[in-house]
Amino acid sequence: MPETDVKKHEPSPDFVKHAHVDAAKYEEMYKASIEDPDGFWGEHGKRIDWIKPYTKVKNTDFTYGQVDIKWFEDGTLNVAANCIDRHLKDRGDQTAIIWVPDEDDGSDQHISYNQLSSHVNKFANVLKGMGVGRGDRVVIYLPMIPQAAYAMLACARIGAIHSVVFAGFSPDALASRVNGSEAKVVITADGGPRGGKVTSLKDNADKAFEKIEHDAKLLVVKRAGNDISWTDGRDHWLHELEDGVSDDCPPEEMGAEDPLFILYTSGSTGQPKGVVHTQGGYLVYTSMTHEYTFDYHDGDVYWCTADVGWVTGHSYIVYGPLANGATTVMFEGVPTYPDAGRFWKICQDHKVAQFYTAPTAIRALMGKGNGPVEKYDLSSLKVLGTVGEPINPEAWNWYDQVVGKGRCPIVDTWWQTETGGHMLTPLPGATATKPGSATQPFFGVQPVVLDAESGSVLEGPGVEGVLAIADSWPSQMRTVYGDHERFMNTYFQQYKGYYFTEDGCMRDEDGYYWITGRVDDVLNVSGHRMGTAEIESALVSHPAVNEAAVVGVPHEVKGQAIYCYVSLMDGHEPSEELKKELQTHVRTEIGPIAKPDFIQWAPGLPKTRSGKIMRRILRKVAANEHEQLGDTSTLAEPEVVDDLIANRLNK
Ligand code: ATP
Ligand code: MG
C-alpha cells in the first residue's frame, strides 16, 4: 500500500474564507446528496436553464441485463443556449475564450460571448445548409483552434451529435470513427501547427475518405495555409459557406436524454469504447464540478491544457466553463515549444487563476528543472489541478512548491471518459490534501472498494481492492454507441449492482481514496498484491529518475517478477551502479518484496495520445510477446516501442 500517513496540506484560512465550500459545507452537502439524491439534484439541476422544467430527477437502474440511466428525463433544454445565449445580457462583452496559438508571436485572441454567439450561430446555419439535422452525427477532426469549440456548440445548437477525433490520429482511426457513426459531415482544417510543425489534416482526411463507406461531406477550416488537394462537390471551405449566412440560428429544443456527443476512451487498456453522453445531466454535472472543484469565481481566467479530442477538453474546456460564463483558455501548442517555459508564460500573460494539466506534462516539465518556471510571474495562480493518471508524490510536490509556491491547493481529479466529470477530487477550500491521493468523492458520488475476487464490499479504513460506484450520478455515460450489450458487459457484469471502473484503489485511515492503477496492472509477487503506481512513485522519488513504468512478467517461483522501465532526468546517465542504487531505493521505500527484478533504461515510454502510459504494451514487450501488441492506433510515438523491444532484458 502507498504510504498514506503523510502530512496533510490544509487549505489556508485565507483561501477558505473566499471559497465556495469549506469543510463543514462539504460534509453537509455530501450527506444531503447521498441521503436524498432527488432533492439534491432537483435543486442543483436548476443551475442551468431549461426550456421545459423537469418534474422527474433520477431514474436509474444498475441491474445487469436491464441497465438504464436517465436524469431529468422530462426536461428540455439546449446546451449551446446554456453556454452562450443566457450570458449575453450580462456578459456579452466578457471574454469567453482566450485562444493562444502554437507560435508565441503575440497573436492571441480574445473571443467575447457576443462574438462566440455570432460564430456558433453561423456555423450552425452552415451545418444545416449541408443537410445536418437533429440526431445526425458530425465528426470533428480539428486542431486546438476556436472553430473546434464553435463546431461542438453548433452541433449542440441544432441537436446534431458530435464525435471529436483527436487531430493526432491517423486516417484509419478517423475513418473507423466516421464509419462507426455514419457521420454526414466531417470537419477538418487544412493544417494544424503544433510545436512549430504543420500536420496536413486535410491530407489525412482525404486518405480517410478512401475508406469511408457512405456519402459524407468534408468541411474545411482554413488555418495553416498549406497546400491541399480538393474534391469538388465533396469538399467545402467553412469561410465560403459562412459568407452571407445569418448569425441567428434558433436553438433546438432537446430532451434531457437525447445524445449530445460520442467520444472514444483513450485506449489504454484495449479497444477504445464509443462513450455516449446526453444533454441535461451532463451539463448540470460538468458545470457544477467546474465551479466547485476549481473554486471558480466570476472574472477568473481558467486554463485546462487538455486537447478537445479528450473528455477533459469536452467537459473542462468547453461545456463546464462556458455553461458557467467563465473565461476559458484554449492553447494550440505543446508545453515545450518554443521552450519549456511556455505554460508558465501563458499563465503570466493571461493572469491564469486555475490551471489544470496532466501528470505526464508535470513530469516532463519537472525534468527540465526549475529555471523555466522561475522566469515567470505566477502570482495570479489560485488552484492547480491534475488529471489522467495517478500523480507521483514527487511530481505533486514539485507542482506544489515550484509552480504553486506552496500557496495553491492542488486538486487531483480522478474520473473517466465514462463518468463525464470529476468523481474523486479535493475541493480546494474544503479538503486537506495528501500528495498522490484523489481524496474524496464529489457530491452524489458513492465510491465503494470491492474485493477483486469475491466482489464483496470492503468496509472501513485501510482496505484495498477495486473501485466501483454504487449508484448513478448525472453525467454518467448512458451507453456504448450502438452497443448497449457491450456497455452492460464492460461495466456492470463483473460486480453485479455496481458500476465497475476498471481501476484498483485503496481507502486509507482518513477515508481518502488512492488510485493504485488499472486493475489489469496490479502485480502479484509471491502472493502480495501491489499497485504499479506505488513502485513507480518510489522510483520517481529518486533524484535521477524522471519517469517510470512498472509491469509484471511471469516468474516460475514468485508468480510475477517486477519489470521496470525507467527514464532518467536530463543530466543523468544509465549505469549498472545506478541500477543497483534504484533497486536498493525501492527496497527501502516500500520493502524487500517490491525490489525490482529488471530495470530497463527507456529513453521514451509508450503513451496514449492523451499522455497515459500504456502498460499493456510494456507487459507484452517484457514478456517477449511483442508480436501481439494489440490495438496500437492510439499510441503517440510508435517508434519508442521498437527501442524498448531491441533493449529488452529477461531474454
Ligand atoms: P481505455 O478505457 O480505452 O483503456 P482510458 O481508461 O485511459 O482508456 P480515459 O477515460 O481517458 O481512458 O481515462 C480514464 C482513466 O485514467 C481512469 O480509469 C484512471 O485509470 C486514469 N485516471 C484519470 N485520472 C486519474 C487520477 N487523478 N488519478 C489516477 N488515475 C487517473
Ligand atoms: Mg478506461
Q: What are the tens digits of pLDDT across the range 484-513?
A: 999 999 999 999 999 999 999 999 999 999
pLDDT value, residue 266: 84
pLDDT digits (tens, 9 = 90+) for 406-452: 999 999 999 999 999 999 999 999 999 999 999 999 999 999 999 99
612 within ligand 1 shell (Cβ under 6 A): yes
Q: pTM value?
A: 0.94
Residue 590 vs residues 103, 365, 586, 595, 640: alpha-carbon distances, Å? 45, 26, 6, 8, 29
Regarding the beta carbon of 515 and ligand 1, being less than 6 Å apart is answered yes
Residue from 391, 612, 615 to probe ligand 1 pocket by mutation (most atoms less than 8 Å from CB) = 612
Contact of 34 with 28, CB cutoff 8 Å: no
Q: Is the pLDDT of residue 101 over 70?
A: yes
For residues 182 and 163, give the distance between their C-alpha atoms in angstroms, rounded to a whole number: 11
Q: Is the pLDDT assigned to residue 83 strictly greater than 90? A: yes
Q: How confident is the model at residue 520 (pLDDT cuts 50, 70, 90)?
A: confident
Task: Determine the Cα–Cα distance for residues 307 and 174; give it in Å rounded to an integer.
Answer: 16
Q: In the predicted model, what is the mean pLDDT of residues 281-286? A: 99
* Residue given cell 484509419 in the structure block: 172
Closest ligand 1 atom, residue 268 Cα = 4
Residue nearest to atom 28 of ligand 1 (CA): 390
Please indicate whether residue 475, judged by its CB atom, sits closer than 6 Å to ligand 1: no
Ligand 1 atom with the smallest distance to the CA of 417 is: 10
Q: How far is the CA of 612 from the centre of ligand 1 (A)?
A: 8
Q: What is the mean pLDDT of residues 161-168?
A: 95
For residues 520 and 269, the answer to whether their CB atoms sit within 8 Å is: yes
Ligand 1 binding pocket includes 420 (Cβ within 6 Å)? no
Assess whether the C-beta atom of 517 lies below 6 angstroms from ligand 1: no
Lowest mean pLDDT among 3-12, 239-248, 409-418: 3-12
The pLDDT value recorded for residue 602 is 95
Average pLDDT, integer, range 328-345 = 97
* Strand locations in 93-144 (E): 95-100, 109-112, 137-141
What angle do the packed helices 639-646 and 615-622 form, to 10 degrees? 30
197 marked as binding residue:
yes
Whether residue 389 is annotated as binding a ligand: the answer is yes
Burial environment of residue 432 by CB neighbours within 10 A (0 to 12, 13 to 18, 19 or more): middle
394 touches ligand 1 (CB under 6 Å): no
- Compute, in angstroms, the gap from residue 97 CA to the centroid of ligand 1: 27
pLDDT confidence band for 560 (50 / 70 / 90)? very high
Q: Is the CB of 267 under 6 A from ligand 1?
A: yes
The pLDDT value given to residue 529: 80
Per-chain mean pLDDT for the chain: 95
Instruction: Name the nearest CA neighbour of 411 among 362, 458, 463, 354.
Output: 354
Q: Whose CA is nearest to atom 3 of ligand 1?
A: 267
Q: Is the ipTM of this complex over 0.85?
A: yes
Mutate to test the pocket of ligand 1, among 169, 266, 411, 616 (most ligand atoms within 8 A of CB): 266
